[in-house]
Amino acid sequence: QVQLEEFGGGSVQAGGSLRLSCAASEYTYSTYCMGWFRQAPGKEREGVATIDSTGSTNYADSVKGRFTISQDNAKNTLFLQMNSLKPEDSAMYYCAADLLLDCYSGSLEGGYGMDYWGKGTLVTISS
């Protein structure tokens, strides 16, 4: 059973940056898709970014050019660098993993196949 734990949330002003980390209890799968998702109060969960075992990345339109997803396999860690933050980026951010397949369109759009989820880290952006 893989466990995921997010770190790095906090409160910053608009225009600022935050770097989220997700520590995975293991990262030895040859094929996987990992991603960041977020959910604001009263809103549905939305995909932010995904990365898979091939290194292919995908981003929500709302974060393209501002957020960067990356991974350090040696340290079993997933990252999300968030720059030029906006108040609308405020949400609980979750790390998730699909350990069977590389990412596909449904991975980001619906979190399909993401069987493992962290408990989340809160990001609050003030205007």
Give the pairing of strands 33-39 and 46-52.
antiparallel
Ramachandran sector of residue 75 (left: φ over 0; alpha: ψ -120 to 50; beta: rest): alpha
- DSSP single-letter state for residue 14: T
Confidence class for position 27, pLDDT limits 50, 70, 90? low
Q: What is the mean pLDDT of the chain?
A: 94
Q: Is the pLDDT of residue 58 over 70?
A: yes
The CA-based angle 42-48-49, given to 5 degrees, is 160
Q: Is the pLDDT of residue 124 over 70?
A: yes
- DSSP single-letter state for residue 25: S
Tell me if 24 sits within 8 A of 10, measured CB to CB. Answer: no
Instruction: Give the pLDDT of residue 19.
Output: 98
Q: Which two tokens stand for residue 112?
A: 């399909």
Residue 20: beta bridge partners?
80
Q: Which range (10-14, 45-49, 69-73) has the least confidence? A: 69-73
